[in-house]
Amino acid sequence: MKKKKYIKLKIENTMTAIICIFIVGTLFVNFIGQAMIQSHNSELQRLKQKINTQEELNASIQMKINELSSLDNALEVADTFGLEYNNSNIRVVSK
């Protein structure tokens, strides 16, 4: 019995090359996508930290504003400059 020789056709070589390119391309796209996700996540964490720091600073400044705008502080400042308290001259300004 004679063995039949298997001859590779051009289409088989082309299909093999296309499949290899597809697999390598898929892996490459996946790698790049994961790198971009990691980059965006680190940027998001940095921005969240920056926001938390700014919120803490804002809260601290708001507490200082409340402390300085209290009636006791206003009376103390008035006494320092030789002024006297007159309730009829006080006007409340709101936003």
- Tokens (6 digits) for 63: 């507490």
pTM of this structure: 0.58
Residue 1 lies in a domain: no
Binned at pLDDT 50, 70 and 90, residue 1 comes out as low
Cα–Cα distance measured from residue 78 to residue 75, given in angstroms and rounded to the nearest whole number? 5
Cα–Cα distance measured from residue 19 to residue 39, given in angstroms and rounded to the nearest whole number? 30
pLDDT at 62 over 90: yes
pLDDT at position 56 is 97
pLDDT at 32 over 70: yes
- Tokens (6 digits) for 44: 């998001």
Residue 79 lies in a domain: yes
Domain that holds residue 76: 11-85
Residue 3 lies in a domain: no
Q: Which residues contact 78 (CB under 8 A, 6 or more apart)?
A: 84, 85
pLDDT at 94 over 80: no
- Given the structure tokens 């996540």, which residue do they identify? 41
